Structure 1
Amino acid sequence: MTRPLILLCLGGVLALFTLPALGATAEQSIEWGVMGMKLFGGLALFLFGMEQMADALKAVAGDRMKGILAKLTSNRFMGAATGAFVTAVIQSSSVTTVLVVGFITAGLMTFSQSIGIIMGANIGTTITAQIVAFKVTKAALLMIGVGFSMLFISKNESVKQYGGMIMGLGLVFFGMSVMSDAMKPLRSYQPFLDLMISMESPLIGIVVAAAFTGLIQSSSATTGIVIVMASQGFITLPAGIALAFGANIGTCVTAMLASIGKPREAVRAAMVHVIFNVSGVLLWIMFIPHLADFVVSFSPSHPELSGIERLGAETPRQIANAHTVFNIANTLVFIWFTAYIARIVEWLLPDRLIEEEGIAVSAKYLDEELLSTPSLALDRVRLEVLHMGERVQAMLDQIMPAIIGGSHESLNAVAQLDDEVDILYEQILDYLGRISKQSLTDRQTEELLSLMEAVGDLENIGDTIETNLVSLGHERISIGFSISEPTKQVLEGFHRVIIRAVDGAVQSVSQINTEVAHAVVAMKDEITSLADSAAQHQAARLVVEEPNRIAAYTTEVDIIEKQKRIYYFAKRMAKTVIPPEEVEED
């Protein structure tokens, strides 16, 4: 539970203790201490249950949801449907948005395509309200018991995750039940009833719900609490709709906070979220009575009840339905304007100018939001391996020209690139370390260890270039010999093969491409053959009378040997992708 949420709950309890002094009469005898404890405890159970359920859902379905998001975005309507489905399953629109930002950054989808998914994510969040509106509180303790047994007795990680999901859902319903019971005495407390009447004003309801949602950073939690209050007959349907509208605006705070310090694409995605939610509320605020009438027409009714009892029986389902209808209608309206929204956002948030030299490189894909979903977090590490590989490839591209005919300055420039490789290496390892603290399946643990090994191999390639090849270039300049044209062709030809091997190794790890990985491993014979040919060339050159021929021979042989070492690390890196039973012993 976050610190603002703790403060909020404690503040709520203190408010309950001070409320009698603000207007209670002698006839109104409410046990404020008992009520405060019940309300606080119920709210804690409700919010913890939602978090437990969402974490378990993300762990169970995260990897599959990533695949669905990546494939089913062929058009704006399919994107919206996909965003709604994925968010409904993983119960986090922010995680869906983070995934989308990653796909944009990796070039897998355009910003315009992503808008449909972000709109659909709002529909997916309404599933929580629908679940909460079902009156299954009698089964809450059974669900907690079954979930607890699966979570703490089973040794199968998948069963434990499903147990966590069931237990979380049970806690949601049990927390609702406790809060509902705690609120019953307030039915006769006039100051509280007067406060609820003030919520009939749409503007007040929207502001209150937006502030509350911004504080606890969960629109689903706000809507759930509104439904709990509705179940006691405290709020009418129009008031409940206004509060749901406010929750939609308040959740924009979460999106904006999550985008701070992130790539431009993340900030733009958050801005789309803000524009879509705020515009939707402004569009509907004058039509709340009409939306209420429409929802009543198809929601379950209880004519056998009357007064508060009927209000408490009908309103929760009506609010949940209104919340869903509102978000679906908004998506159907705004989805036709995704291209225009994209242009507006890109105009408001233009691309940054290229950063000045000297600014340290930083990880592009390692997002804190995904740490609670290990399968997705590990996938972001693979993208960051690609980012790190780009730096290593830049070193490889520059090192051979610098060795053969470059200056001390050009060699030092290559060495400085390794500082960027080292920074990314440290950031990736730190991120992997935080992933390891999560609840991982056996397969995820194996994947994490393989990624640690692959990143280490990639860092070793950078170190070999910086420490060994750069030194050989400085040695060539210091001694003062020139590399002959035939030898230059031999070294460059060998180097091109090494570049291809490293590129293949990075590709195999970032894409989990076993075919490319096998191809990199199979290059061993080609590398050996080229090395033998180079050795023969060097031996023939050794007998030619020329100044510094011994120093030249030694340096050129060392260049070949260091490049063979680079291939060794590239081959090890590729092997981390290949199943152990398919790896051939060297």
Structure 2
Amino acid sequence: MSLTISELQALFFGLFGGLALFLYGMRKMTEALKATAGSRLKNLLAALTRNRFTGLAAGTVITALIQSSSITSVLVVGFITAGLLSFSQAIGVIIGANVGTTVTAQIIAFNIAEYALLLIALGFLLEVAGRREWLRHYGMVLMGLGFIFFGMELMSEATRPLRDYPPFIDLLRQTRHPLIGILAGALFTTLVQSSSATTGIVIVLSGQGFISLDAGIALIFGANVGTCVTAMLSAIGRPREALKAAVAHVLFNLGGVLLWVWFIPNFAQFISSLSPAHPRVDGCSAAGRRNASADRQRAYFFNIGNALLFIGFTPQLARLVDWLVPARAELDQPVQPKYLDPYFLSDPTVALDQVRLELLHLGQRTLAMVEEGLNAVTRGGRQRLNELRKQDEAIDTLHGEIVTYLGRLSLQNLVEPQPRQIYEYLAVGSYLENIGDVVETNWVTDGFKRLESGVNISTSTLRLLERLHEQVCRSGKITLEALEHNDLEQAREVLRSKATYNELAEQARTHLARRLVVVAPSRLDAFRIEMDLIDHFKRIHTLFRRIARLIEVSVSDSRKTSKSG
């Protein structure tokens, strides 16, 4: 028997069109689940990573909820970068993510293809007509599921003519050899960038009776190898922690395949005994159609078995990965962002956390500039004043990178309160950059005026200026701590400091007014410089209070939302 051109055309259209719908459904469902879960996933991960076992549970639950181990990996890398998670703890989450992906196999193995179009219709109705955002997201989930099942049905119908096509049957018989099956599964997974797609194809082929259970297991093992290639490719050029997470993923999957490949027949018999129908399937026998329940157990038991074996060795695995991925040598490079990486843009929740860390980096540089500034302006020479200018150039560079990154982030699929957070972070960055400008433009100018006019600031005046300076620096320090911890009370403490600052500033102005009557060379020049410094202190203190006010509003709104939710 041979296939006609029209049959071949229908086969390719059905197979690749069905695969495209399957992948589209997976992506749509993942995006909707991620948007629905929002920052709750981050909170769940933070709460469940006290040790390797709770980390395993967290990775499993989060990946099962969002149907994407890559998003879980982004969350993990973000936590490591922020110092909230050690790499040894993170390995437990990565192992759990592999277990969580098997939920996909459990879902797609259910034979509800006849309801696929109904799911698509209901999902479309909810997405278009839903008045609430969460209702529209649930509609997207239903549509995604519908496309998954409809795509699998198209692939299943397209492959029916191959049941009596000898060349195809002979080709599939080659997959009985474990190595060939693993290579085929790895190659296909690498090409389509989805182990779920490979699982779907295996279920279709097994349901049609084309492949044996042993061959299906080899293909699933190959899918696990293929995800390693995908993980390594996606880690190229990423932060070191992302590369380490990818290497841990590879070691876990490859180690598991190498361990279990020798026991495929025993593994197949064990899985077969758990299915509703027990027959071992060979070639194109009719019994193959009853093998779908066994198909959805393959990846499940493989990843569960691996997790139980490897979870006890996470410290050793972490040390091995650290050895394989050494830290890069620190080079004398121009200032650059520490936390902003395109890797995190796929998950706005994590990306916003990275922006907050970068704002803290910017804030620490700005505060250091303010702390050094008074001494340089009142006592320093030209070299120290020029160093202050260079520090402001670094602040301008970091601020520009933050604005650019937030611009790219704004193009992602955002849900409330993420757009508002972007606005708040833009404002915080601008205020910090303005503080640097005050020091660079105003303080440095005053410092050069002092040098040119030969002014010496008196000890009593300097003491008052230092008290003002200490108050400004203290407010700046508390503001950055409030930003780091989203601390409402610290933000309010900065806002309350206005009265204390105004009292100190008034004392300084009164003192300068009294000294103006002192007959001394360049007294008028000194008065102007000293009054300028007081005005500039006020400007900096006001900018820190504006940041504190943003934090107060943001935290208060967040608490109101969580209570109403």
Q: TM-score, normalised to structure 1's length?
A: 0.89
Question: Identity, % of aligned pairs?
Answer: 47
**Structure 2: gaps (5+ residues):** 558-565
2:503 aligned with 1:529? yes
2:563 match: none
Counterparts of 2:207 and 2:372 in 1: how far apart (Å)? Answer: 69
Displacement after TM superposition at 1:305 (Å): 11
Aligned equivalent of 2:406: 432
Higher mean alpha-carbon deviation, 43-52 vs 184-193, is at: 184-193
Runs of 4+ in structure 1 off by over 4 angstroms are 25-30, 302-307, 580-583
Corresponding residue to 1:355 among 331, 336, 340? 331
The alpha carbon displacement at 1:323 in A equals 0.7
Task: Kindly state the Cα deviation for residue 539 of structure 1 after the two structures are TM-superposed.
Answer: 2.3
What is the one-letter code of the residue matched to 1:116?
Answer: G
Question: Counterpart of 1:233?
Answer: 209
**Per-residue deviation, residues 76-122 of structure 1 (Å, max 9, x unmatched):** 11111111111111222122122212212211121111111111111
1:59–1:374 Cα contact (<8 Å) kept: no
Is this contact kept in 1: 2:184–2:222, CA < 8 A? yes
Contact 2:35–2:415 at 8 Å: present in 1 too? no
**1:298 aligned onto 2:274:** yes
Q: Distance in 1 between matches of 2:185 and 2:486?
A: 45
CA distance in 2 between counterparts of 1:392 and 1:548 reads 32
Partner of 2:560: none
- The amino acid of 1:243's aligned partner reads L
Give the aligned residue type for 1:255: A
Deviation at 1:570, TM superposition (A): 1.5
Say which is worse superposed, 128-137 or 90-99, in terms of deviation: 90-99
Q: 2:494 aligned to 495, 502, 520, which one?
A: 520
Pair 1:49-2:25 in alignment: yes
Q: Which runs of 5+ in 1 are unaligned?
A: 1-24
1:342 corresponding residue in structure 2: 318
| Aligned equivalents of 2:166, 2:340: Cα separation in 1 | 52
What is the identity, as a one-letter code, of the residue corresponding to 2:267? L
Cα distance change of structure 1 residues 470 and 244 upon mapping to structure 2, 3 Å threshold: farther
Q: Distance in 2 between matches of 1:275 and 1:305?
A: 32
Which secondary structure does the structure 1 equivalent of 2:39 belong to? Answer: helix
Find out whether 1:420 has 2:401 as its counterpart: no
TM alignment of 1:328-477, pairs within 5 A: 328-356=304-332, 358-362=333-337, 364-477=338-451
Q: CA deviation at 1:172?
A: 0.6
The residue that corresponds to 1:319 in the other structure is: 295
Residue in 2 that maps onto 1:149: 125
Count, aligned residues = 556
1:62 aligns with 2:38: yes
Larger CA deviation: 60-69 vs 560-569:
560-569
The secondary structure found in structure 1 opposite 2:101 is helix
CA distance in 1, matches of 2:235, 2:371: 34
Q: Confirm or deny that 1:121 pairs with 2:97.
A: yes
* Kept after mapping to 2: 8 A contact 1:385/1:510: no
Say if 2:75 is the partner of 1:107. no
Alignment deviations for residues 463-494 of structure 1 (CA, whole Å, 9 cap, x no partner): 22222222222222232323333333322222
| 1:319–1:191 CA distance, 2 compared to 1 (3 A) | same
Q: Amino acid of the residue matched to residue 47 of structure 2?
A: K
- Mapped to 1, the partners of 2:3 and 2:434 lie a distance apart of 79
Q: Judging changes above 3 Å, is the alpha-carbon distance between structure 1 residues 27 and 367 closer, same or farther for their aligned structure 2 residues?
A: closer
SS at match of 1:579: helix
Change (3 A) 1:178 1:545: same
Q: Secondary structure at the match of 2:405?
A: helix
**Secondary structure in structure 2 of the residue aligned to 1:256:** helix
C-alpha contact (below 8 Å) 1:55/1:373 kept by paired residues: no
The one-letter code of the counterpart of 2:108 is V
- CA shift, 1:581, in A, is 12
Match among 482, 503, 507 for residue 508 of structure 1: 482
Give, as a single letter, the amino acid of the residue that structure 2 aligns with 1:489.
Answer: R
Shift of residue 498 of structure 1? Answer: 1.6
**Structure 1 residue 27, shift from structure 2 partner:** 7.5
Quote the Cα distance in structure 1 between the aligned partners of 2:235 and 2:512: 56
- Distance (whole Å) between structure 1 residues aligned to residue 533 and residue 115 of structure 2: 72
For the structure 1 residues 82 and 464, does the alpha-carbon distance in structure 2 shift closer, same or farther, using more than 3 Å as the test? same
d(CA) in 2 for partners of 1:159 and 1:375? 20
Deviations 1:203-249 (A, max 9, x none): 12222222222233222222222222222222222211112112212
CA contact (8 A) 2:99 2:304 kept: yes
Contact 1:422-1:459 at 8 Å conserved across structures: yes
Q: Once the 2 structures are TM-superposed, how far is the Cα of residue 389 of structure 1 from its aligned partner? A: 1.7
Determine if the alignment matches structure 1 residue 214 to structure 2 residue 200.
no
SS of the counterpart of 2:404? helix
Shift of 1:153: 1.5
Task: Give the whole-Å Cα distance in 2 for the aligned partners of 1:149 and 1:269.
Answer: 40
Counterparts of 2:186 and 2:556 in 1: how far apart (Å)? 56
